[in-house]
Amino acid sequence: MQPFLLLTLLLLSAGAYYLGRRRAFAVADGHVRNLHSLPSFYGSYAALWCGLPALLVFALWAAAQPNLVVNWVVAGLPPELRDLPPDRLNLVINDLKNLVGGNFVASASDPVMVEAAERYRRLQAIGNAALWVVVLSLAIAGIAYAWRAISPALRARNRVEGVINIFLIASSTVAIFTTIGIVLSVVFESLLFFRQVPVAEFLFGLQWSPQTALRADQVGSSGAFGAVPLFAGTLLISGIAMLVAVPIGLMSALYLSEYATPKFRAFAKPALEILAGIPTVVYGFFAALTVAPLIRQIGTAVGLHVASESALAAGLVMGIMIIPFVSSLSDDVINAVPQSMRDGSYALGATKSETITRVLLPAALPGIVGSILLAISRAIGETMIVVMAAGLSANLTANPLEAVTTVTVQIVTLLTGDQEFDSPKTLAAFALGLVLFVVTLILNIIALRVVRKYREQYE
Amino acid sequence: MSTTAIDTQVALNGTLNRSASPPRSAGVQVTDYDNRQTVGKITVDNPKMTCREVNVYYGEKHAIKNVSLDIGANEVIAFIGPSGCGKSTFIRCLNRMNDTIPSARVTGLIKLDEDDIHAKEIDVVQLRARVGMVFQKPNPFPKSIYENVAYGPRIHGMVNTKAELDDLVRESLERAGLIKEVEKRMLEPGTSLSGGQQQRLCIARAIAVNPEVILMDEPCSALDPIATAKIEELIDELRENYTIVIVTHSMQQAARVSQRTAYFHLGDLIEIGDTDQIFTNPRHKLTEDYITGRFG
Amino acid sequence: MNKATSHDGVPLRERDIKTIVNAGLARRHAAERRFRWYGLIAISLGLAFVVLMFANIIGKGLPAFWQTYIQVPIHFDAAVLDPEGNRDPQTLASADYGALVRAGLRQTFPAVEGRLPLRALSALLSTDAAYELQRRVLADPQLIGAQQEIWLLASAAVDTFVKGNIDRTLDEANRPIKDQQIEWIDQLRAADKIERQFNAVLFRNGDSREPEQAGIRGALMGSFFTLLVTFLLSFPIGVATAVYLEEFAPKNRWTDIIEVNINNLAAVPSIVFGLLGLAVFINFFGLPRSAPLVGGLVLSLMTLPVIIIAGRAALTSVPPSIREAALGMGASKLQMVGHHVLPLAMPGMLTGSIIGMARALGESAPLLMIGMVAFIVDVPKGFLDPATVLPVQIYLWSDLPERAFVERTSAAIMVLLAFMILMNGLAILLRKRFERRW
Ligand SMILES: Nc1ncnc2c1ncn2[C@@H]1O[C@H](COP(=O)(O)OP(=O)(O)OP(=O)(O)O)[C@@H](O)[C@H]1O
Ligand SMILES: [Mg+2]
């Protein structure tokens, strides 16, 4: 239904463009020279008048209508239903929507519901019809206005360019609004959470069990929200990942930039970067079904107890994922060290490895530290690998063979499955999200600073 | 001096039993523009380095063409010539720095004392320890002043104790005429020095490994006149202990610091001889044009 | 001048550098070789992981593209299907097709008696077998009364066994397929009545609890709708932002903020975007959960920085001379950008966008937050239908213990990777094709 309306609108705008151009020719007595702008601008002018206001109204209407309809239907329900608590009412409304959608629901035989569904359907039909009428008349009114407004003196180009300018500026603010949206959403929900669970308990508590109450008088009463085990688990897994990724990534970068022949480099660099393109869910699958059992087997063979969801498996695979990240960032950094440094060292009789370890690495150190920070922030925020390969139980341990859980795992567990909004359980996820956002943001800002400073040094 | 051409031939045939360069046709004037044969005496009595028929190619490009010359012990020899004539390319042959450029290919004979520097048993690490180099742009390592100078002795294992190293660093800085300025700031980064000081630091760094020859590729081109004067003074002092090859664009500088001068043009060694003679009485038209400023 | 002297009293200056260096050469060259080896080993490890992972996944997933079918003689008995004989679609649809299947199986193995053995016999076939017959009859009622040999989908256990993934020697109680069934399978094999055919079900069906009936069609359509939304939103906005920042924006604090902001946004963990989607799009704006529309909105916010950064790079690579030429001809700044700069920068922008879209295609974490993880059987038909996407489907299946699902998960990964390779290949092609040196 609505796609059709949009299509119609599009066609109308195209027509308006054509009309606007014709009109421009007409008012100019066929001499384009008489016009202020090129005829196509008059066409665009008309098309904009036709499409833009109609589109705005359409968007607002489409956004508002479902809620309005629901409200009206609810208002028409018998009082005993209308005055149900919000969550029960929501269930009723869901049933209603299913009924309207033609799906079978348990309450289908309830006459009240059937009648409400009928009302719902009617309101919806009326709304849709009204939408058509309003949008189409607006579009036609727009054309009419443009038709009358077009005259040789009309500065069509300036008007059209003004609209485009506004569009450009508005687009560039989307990124800002995204950030604001992120900040507001996590901060707002986190504040609600911290009203129920004190910040100190969240940040420094050693017990994490959001499902069960430990004591009856427990704040928040649905469980313990001490996030330290999650932070520790996140650090443990990221630490293992960095232990894998930094040496391999760095040595690869050094080899590729200092030793490899151009041919080998042309092959190996993109081949390594394949690792960066593989979706993380694939790594998660690999970790959970191949690496974790393997580690467990090896552990059992040498007489160690290894949890089936060990931190080691998740960390190892996460490390593999981060290798190309470290290597390509370090590669950039190493290549930014001027050739004259290498020349100076070689001219003193240093070997390649001496030059690398004693001149290149110290010179590139700030940049390498920056890229490692970026990689750490990547590791901390990584979700799928840990969701699939790390555990759920919040153990406070430094043993990589045990199962630990991470911040991201808990966010996912708390927010998937059945959830009531505004319970401390779901709000806790946002508090964790806030921590995650702040930590990665700080890491990124520091890293970008360091790298930028480093680059300026050699410019 | 009509013996110059003969000198060249003798030198070539004496050291190398080859005759790659075509015999000169009698009709060509020695001073003619078209003559690409080296004019002047390429040999010296006590050579530190001998180069014979050196050719350098960058891929297809023939950058140095059949250059032969001797570098005498404890002399300062200056390479001059218009930009792009191959001075840097040639000087980089002397410590095999061209090895670091993948496309570069060097042929011919280059000897340091009696050792062929391209021979298998000569290690490039050892060669570069013996033939130090100072670059056009000062390139101190991003380390402290002390560590910059200590770098060479450390990697070559020249010293056994910290005290020895301290002495060596101090002495090298002293010889480079830098000690007074940096005595109090040995642990500050080398990059915190001024350009001229940095260049002297690089010289100190090079002489810390006690090389036999020091190559300097336009060491003063990034410096102001006062810093340049200091370096020139330094070169004069260093001559006592080292053989020095210097590339320069400044005729005055060549005249001031060197005993012999070689003039390169488009990859050819055009003329070589005592500095006084080259500057007062050039024998090749191209040399004359260059030093009188009609060229380059 | 104080002369530095070494411990043996010889002035350092007079010691021969040649011998000093020679003494350490062997050790230093050994260290050099060692270091080189470390580098080579590091790269080989990285490349080995790539190979290992691909080999592992292809090894596991390739068999899933073939599925076991069993040939069963089916008598489309009119007495069962249409007792009244009026071919009423309603009657035909609700007839007991299972009975036909059971009869066919019994015909193949007449010796089988008893309730339990018969049930074991039926378990050779998927529950889809009956639906298959229903589909055939509804499509062609003429079949009624006919007798046909029909290839029917085998159950997942049989399929797994036939593919050699169940150990015969295992204790009977520990395997999903019993001795008796193995015997039957061997008989079917001997009679050439069991074979593997291309697994069309995988591409035709939505999700299912039964592995042999589970397909990725639903997830593929979900991904398609989600990515369509992502592209329609992020491409125009991304290009417009890049154009604004690169060509129009005054260099002031405000644009600085936008720039820093975009760089930071590019590094925000994807799951945080999921939180944003949940809080803003679902809870605040009341958009439906699990909908591709919301998924697309979230992913477009994630993809935006990628497109903007690529777009700006493409714009800066257009030489200023072209701008000056256009402006010199009296074009307005917008005309200059629209007619001259944008067309030249477009290949670069498209390349960046395709790479961004490939990343969005592989993204799953934020979609978990907005409910695209539900078990959804129906193939979505629009932007508001509940849906899941390919990577999330992989995540869902990877949790299921059955061997047949492991196989399917790997197959789904192969399909996902194939799409990623396709998109990246396209991007590379585009870059090569339009690469221009000014
Ligand atoms: N790495 C290289 N690859 C290819 N060609 C090169 C390379 N280095 C130098 N050349 C070429 O070799 C020739 C000689 O260059 P070289 O640097 O030796 O000149 P130069 O005499 O030192 O000049 P300048 O006085 O400007 O330093 C030039 O034509 C140059 O273009
Ligand atoms: Mg040079």
In the A/B pair of chains, how many CB contacts fall below 8 A?
66
Vertex A46, ends A44 and A51: CA angle to 5°? Answer: 90
Distance B49 CA to ligand 2 centre (A): 20
Q: Is there a single domain that holds both residue C86 and residue C42?
A: no
pLDDT value, residue A157:
83
What is each CA distance from B53 to A240, B273, C44, in whole angstroms?
Answer: 59, 18, 44
- Is residue A376 included in any domain, yes or no? yes
pLDDT at C218 over 90: yes
pLDDT value, residue C46:
92
**DSSP secondary structure letters along C81-127:** H-TT-S--HHHHHTS-HHHHHHHHHHHHSTT--SHHHHHHHHTTB-T
pLDDT digits (tens, 9 = 90+) for C186-208: 999 898 889 999 998 899 888 88
Q: Is there a single domain that holds both residue A298 and residue A446?
A: yes
pLDDT at A275 over 80: yes
Q: Which of A154, A185, A212 is the last residue of a domain?
A: A154
Among the bound ligands, name the one nearest to the CA of residue B267.
1
Of B135, B151, B206, the CB nearest to A340: B135
Whether C100 contacts C82, CB under 8 Å: no
Residue C143 sits at the chain A interface (C-beta within 8 Å): no
Strand B260-265 vs strand B268-274: parallel, antiparallel, or unpaired?
A: antiparallel
Q: Is there a single domain that holds both residue A145 and residue A234?
A: no
DSSP-assigned letter for residue C74: E
- Is residue C212 included in any domain, yes or no? no
The number of distinct structural domains making up chain A is 2
pLDDT at A266 over 80: yes
User: B101: how many CB neighbours lie within 10 A of its CB?
Assistant: 12
Q: Is there a single domain that holds both residue C299 and residue C191?
A: no
pLDDT value, residue C2:
47
pLDDT digits (tens, 9 = 90+) for A222-244: 578 889 999 999 999 999 999 99
pLDDT value, residue A455:
77
Whether B152 contacts A348, CB under 8 Å: yes
- Is residue A372 included in any domain, yes or no? yes
Q: Which of C158, C181, C206 is the last residue of a domain?
A: C206
Report residue B191 as tokens: 């990059």
Higher pLDDT, C435 or C108: C108
- Is residue A206 included in any domain, yes or no? no
pLDDT value, residue A263:
92
Residues A407-431 as b or e (16 or more Cβ within 10 Å = b): bbbbbbbbbbeeeeeeebbbbbbbb
Q: How far is B153 from chain A (nearest CA, A)?
A: 9
Q: Which of A132, A154, A176 is the last residue of a domain?
A: A154
Nearest chain A alpha carbon to C373 = A416
pLDDT at A83 over 80: no
Within C246-339, strands assigned E span: none
Whether B218 contacts B64, CB under 8 Å: no
**DSSP secondary structure letters along C141-209:** GGGTT-EEEEEEEBPHHHHHHHTT-S-TTS-GGGSSS-HHHHHHHHHHHHTT-EEEEE-THHHH----S
Q: Is there a single domain that holds both residue C263 and residue C183?
A: no
Q: How far is B126 from chain A (nearest CA, A)?
A: 6
Dihedral angle sign, alpha carbons of residues B8, B12, B13, B19: negative
Residues A269-298 as b or e (16 or more Cβ within 10 Å = b): beebbbbebbbbbbbbbbbbbbbbeebbee
DSSP-assigned letter for residue C69: E
Question: Which residue range(s) make up the domain with C161?
Answer: 65-206
Q: Is there a single domain that holds both residue A377 and residue A232?
A: yes
Q: Which of A154, A184, A203 is the last residue of a domain?
A: A154
Residues C98-110: what's their mean pLDDT? 89
* pLDDT confidence bin for A102, thresholds 50/70/90: low
Residues C353-358: what's their mean pLDDT? 93
Residues C210-222: what's their mean pLDDT? 92
Decide: B88 in ligand 1 pocket, CB within 6 A.
yes
Of C4, C7, C24, the CB nearest to B157: C24
Residue A256 sits at the chain C interface (C-beta within 8 Å): yes
Q: Is there a single domain that holds both residue A422 and residue A296?
A: yes
Q: Which residues of C touch A430 (CB under 8 A)?
A: 275, 279
Neighbours, chain C (3 or more CB pairs < 8 A): A, B
Q: Is there a single domain that holds both residue A32 and residue A137?
A: yes
Q: Which residues contact A94 (CB under 8 A, 6 or more apart)?
A: none
CB contact under 8 A, B130 and C18: yes
Decide: B135 in ligand 1 pocket, CB within 6 A.
no
Give the CATH number of the domain where residue A395 resides: 1.10.3720.10
Give the CATH number of the domain where residue C321 resides: 1.10.3720.10
Closest Cα to atom 8 of ligand 1: B89
Q: Is there a single domain that holds both residue A237 and residue A357?
A: yes
* pLDDT confidence bin for C308, thresholds 50/70/90: very high
**DSSP secondary structure letters along A345-372:** HHHTT--HHHHIIIIIHHHHHHHHHHHH
* pLDDT confidence bin for A113, thresholds 50/70/90: confident
* pLDDT confidence bin for A103, thresholds 50/70/90: low
CB contact under 8 A, C271 and A189: no
- Is residue A214 included in any domain, yes or no? no
Residue B267 sits at the chain A interface (C-beta within 8 Å): no
Question: Which residue range(s) make up the domain with A347?
Answer: 222-458
Q: Is there a single domain that holds both residue C221 and residue C177?
A: no
Whole-number Å distance between alpha carbons of A249 and A319: 10
pLDDT value, residue A279:
94
Decide: B85 in ligand 1 pocket, CB within 6 A.
yes
Q: Which of C184, C206, C228 is the last residue of a domain?
A: C206
**DSSP secondary structure letters along B149-206:** HHHHHHHHT--SSHHHHHHHHHHHHHHTT-HHHHGGGTTSBGGGS-HHHHHHHHHHHH
Whole-number Å distance between alpha carbons of A136 and A15: 13
Q: Is the ipTM of this complex over 0.85?
A: yes
Could you tell me the end-to-end alpha-carbon distance of chain C, in angstroms, rounded to an integer? Answer: 59
Decide: B138 in ligand 1 pocket, CB within 6 A.
no
pLDDT value, residue A324:
93
Whole-number Å distance between alpha carbons of B76 and B244: 5
Report residue A237 as tokens: 């897994």
* Ranges of chain B with pLDDT below 50: 1-29, 296
pLDDT at A87 over 80: no
- Is residue A207 included in any domain, yes or no? no
Q: Is there a single domain that holds both residue A115 and residue A261?
A: no
Dihedral angle sign, alpha carbons of residues A291, A297, A298, A299: positive
- Is residue C417 included in any domain, yes or no? yes
What is each CA distance from A89 to A93, A163, A190, B286, B291, in whole angstroms?
Answer: 6, 45, 26, 101, 100
Q: What is the average pLDDT value for chain A, to the nearest integer?
A: 86
C110: left (phi over 0), alpha (psi -120 to 50) or beta: alpha
What is each CA distance from A317 to A292, A381, C413, in whole angstroms?
Answer: 10, 15, 17
The number of distinct structural domains making up chain C is 3
In three state form, how does the secondary structure of A268-333 look? HHHHHHHHHHCCHHHHHHHHHHHHHHHHHHHHHHCCCCCCCCCHHHHHHHHHHHHHHHHHHHHHHH
Q: Which of C186, C206, C226 is the last residue of a domain?
A: C206
Q: Is there a single domain that holds both residue C168 and residue C234?
A: no
**DSSP secondary structure letters along chain B:** ---HHHHHHHHHHHH-S---SPPPPTTS-TT-TT--SPBS----SSEEEEEEEEEEEETTEEEEEEEEEEEETT-EEEEE-STTSSHHHHHHHTTTGGGGSTTEEEEEEEEETTEETTSTTS-HHHHHHHEEEE-SS----SSBHHHHHHHHHHHHT--SSHHHHHHHHHHHHHHTT-HHHHGGGTTSBGGGS-HHHHHHHHHHHHHTT--SEEEEESTTTTS-HHHHHHHHHHHHHHTTT-EEEEE-S-HHHHHHH-SEEEEEETTEEEEEEEHHHHHHS--SHHHHHHHTTS--
- Is residue A200 included in any domain, yes or no? no
Distance B90 CA to ligand 1 centre (A): 10
Q: Which residues contact B1 (CB under 8 A, 6 or more apart)?
A: B283
Whole-number Å distance between alpha carbons of B117 and B123: 8
pLDDT value, residue C432:
83
List CB-based neighbours of ion ligand 2 within 5 Å: B 88
The phi, psi pair for B74, rounded to 5°, reads 55, 30
- Is residue C352 included in any domain, yes or no? yes
- Is residue A9 included in any domain, yes or no? yes
In terms of DSSP H, where are the helices of A76-110? 79-82, 86-100
Residues C315-324: what's their mean pLDDT? 87
Higher pLDDT, C399 or C35: C35
pLDDT value, residue A81:
75
Q: Is there a single domain that holds both residue A132 and residue A227?
A: no
pLDDT at C9 over 60: no
DSSP-assigned letter for residue C2: P
Decide: B6 in ligand 1 pocket, CB within 6 A.
no
pLDDT value, residue C361:
95
Whether C178 contacts C120, CB under 8 Å: yes
- Is residue A338 included in any domain, yes or no? yes
Q: Is there a single domain that holds both residue C70 and residue C200?
A: yes
Q: Kindly report each contact of residues C404-407 with a partner whose C-beta sits within 8 Å and lies 24 or more positions away, as own/partner.
A: C404/C156, C404/C157, C404/C159, C404/C160, C404/C211, C404/C212, C405/C211, C405/C214, C406/A289, C406/C60, C407/C60, C407/C61, C407/C63, C407/C64, C407/C160, C407/C163, C407/C211
pLDDT at C436 over 80: no
Q: Token pair 């499409």 is at which residue?
A: A51
